[in-house]
Amino acid sequence: MLIPSIDLRGGKIVQLVQGERLALESADIDGWIDRFRSFEKVQLIDLDAALGSGDNLDLVRHICTELPCRVGGGIRTTERARLLLDAGATRIIVGSAFFTGEGPDLEAASRFTTALGVERVIAAVDSRGGEVVVRGWTSRVPLATVDAVRALEPWCAEFLYTHVETEGLMGGIDMAAVRAIRLVTDRRIAAAGGVTTRTEIATLEAMRVDAVVGMAVYTGRLPLDEASGSG
């Protein structure tokens, strides 16, 4: 399944290269909503909230009323998670809150699943050099991504795995890295980080992994008429 990604910063849709360099931005929020209406799932990330530099809550509310969005970015408390669910999010993506500087924070994970129900929680495991990175990919946790997935599996219904080294480059995702994650969990997985072609999406589908795609869709490298909202 292809899941289109909407990243918000400063009230606009943006695409960044490896979370740093701005590659494109669009203020045409409703136009992109219309383009994504046929998709079964949409990933919506508030980058300002993730970096602690404000938020785009009004826009998140608006988009969630129009599209079936799993929402992430700066969700560090169960109160914030409930606010986003009340705003219309179908599931909540939690990343930094599930880790300390040393490893997985299972007490925090337990709080989220107790408050929200495990079926509404997606654990984000972002990888740089095979280790977890958090807080908008600015801080490294000395923990292998596969070990993070093993530890967090009881506390989520799904994983979002982002391969940071290839994010935004449209050069393909590291299939071996995704396969390593697939081998250690039975949970559903969505993978992000450079996915560009229908062939890659089909390869991920064969592994029972959904493909989160941003840059390739916004630049037209992957035309939406080639993309499928089901699978």
Catalytic residues: 7, 126
Rounded distance between C-alpha atoms, residue 94 and residue 72, angstroms = 6
Structure tokens at 22: 């701005």
Q: How many CB atoms lie within 10 A of CB 202?
A: 11
User: Residue 171, by phi and psi: left (phi above 0), alpha (psi -120 to 50) or beta?
Assistant: alpha
User: How far apart, in whole angstroms, are the C-alpha atoms of residue 11 and residue 56?
Assistant: 6
Please calculate the CA angle 64-67-69 and round it to the nearest 5 degrees: 65
Is residue 135 a contact partner of residue 51, using CB atoms and an 8 Å limit?
Answer: yes
Largest CA distance in the chain: 44
